[in-house]
Amino acid sequence: MLLRRKSMSLMLMAVVLMAGLLQGCSLKADEQDGPGTELVLWTFNELHEKFFLQMADQWNQLHPDEQINLKANTFPYDNHHSKLSIALQSGVGAPDIADIEVNKIGNFLKGIPQLVALNPVIDPEMKNIVPSRVQIYGKDGKYYGIDFHVGAEVMYYNKEILDQAGVFGLEPHKWLMNANTGFLALIVLALWRWLGVNMLYYMSGLQNIPPELYEAAQIDGASRFASFWRITIPMLKPVTIYVFTISIYAGLSMFTESYMLWKGNNSPNDIGLTIVGYLYRQGLEQNSMGFGAAVGIVLLVFTLVLNLIQLKFFGMFRKED
């Protein structure tokens, strides 16, 4: 979330103070044993638990008349989401605040979401954040969650820590949240992933070219360029065809790079949204399996046609005399 530390803290605590994140689970202040309003938090990460408790303490210091008594519980990842799903479906025992991992949010938005919409908190801050960071938690114009990352909060948005570390007083640059630099990062990552293996293919192909061919060409007076053009390139044709084929497939099936950089399909202006990422968004995140399947079939046909065209271009269907 692209907010300064103070703004982010206040926004998170505003969510905490809402009448419970889950429908039917808010607790009345006069029913609590401790001081202030007791709210129950479920999470799957101890660091997240500490973060929320810290934010609650900051809220209590700033709002002595609106105290929060936050009860945090950390469960194993799978157990946490299963326990939360059962509590929501049964309407019994769900917490006031739930930490739902981005990969699991689609399961909780199926049908009628049993979550309280956070639009009163999110809408006023939309101009300060990347919209796609909350759209993944949305359905039918309502937002049921706020994306946050404790590591990013400390590393990128705490200007005081950066200054104390001697980073020359420079403003932190959000590389992945800028459309231009984020797209550049995606390209660099894809090149780093695929360039090395393609080089290995070509090195293997070069080592399989008989040296006698170059010796014969040298005896006939062929230049280095003529040897490269008449011997090296034709002998590397099978490798080139293979590299082109797998590169087309890799480009059209790219998903991991974007998902890793932006925690899912949350890139600014959807610059990292690939075809497979769109399939994932429609089929799994938004539970539109039919539409997702249609995207997959279109992708399959397009990949097949494109590869047939490049194979014909390289003469793979040409009959040898």
**Once rounded to an integer, what is the mean pLDDT over residues 161-185?**
70
**Once rounded to an integer, what is the mean pLDDT over residues 229-246?**
92
Asked if the model's pLDDT at residue 9 lies above 60, the reply is no
Asked if the model's pLDDT at residue 319 lies above 80, the reply is no
Which residues touch 170 (CB under 8 Å, ≥6 apart)? 162
Query: Could you tell me which of 38, 285, 296, 7 has the C-alpha nearest to residue 127?
Result: 7
**What does 236-286 look like in DSSP terms, one character per residue?**
THHHHHHHHHHHHHHHHT--HHHHHHTTSS--GGGTT--HHHHHHIIIIIS
Burial of 55 (0-12, 13-18, 19+ CB in 10 A): buried
Give per-residue pLDDT as tens, 123-150.
888 877 767 677 778 888 899 988 766 4
What's the confidence (pLDDT) of residue 226? 92
Q: Are 96 and 22 in contact (CB under 8 A)?
A: yes
What's the confidence (pLDDT) of residue 212? 93
Give per-residue pLDDT as tens, 26-68.
333 333 345 678 999 999 988 889 888 988 899 899 988 889 8
**Once rounded to an integer, what is the mean pLDDT over residues 15-35?**
41
What's the confidence (pLDDT) of residue 18? 43
Question: What is the reported pTM?
Answer: 0.51
Length of the chain, in residues: 321
**Once rounded to an integer, what is the mean pLDDT over residues 172-177?**
70
Spatial separation of the C-alpha atoms in residues 93 and 95, rounded to whole Å: 7
Q: Sketch out the chain's domains with CATH numbers.
A: 5-164 (3.40.190), 179-313 (1.10.3720.10)
SS3 content of the chain, % helix, strand, coil (to 5): 60, 5, 35
Tokens of 286: 């938004």
Give per-residue pLDDT as tens, 275-294.
998 898 888 877 888 999 99
Give per-residue pLDDT as tens, 75-105.
998 899 899 999 998 988 999 999 888 778 8
Which amino acid type is present at position 77?
Answer: Y
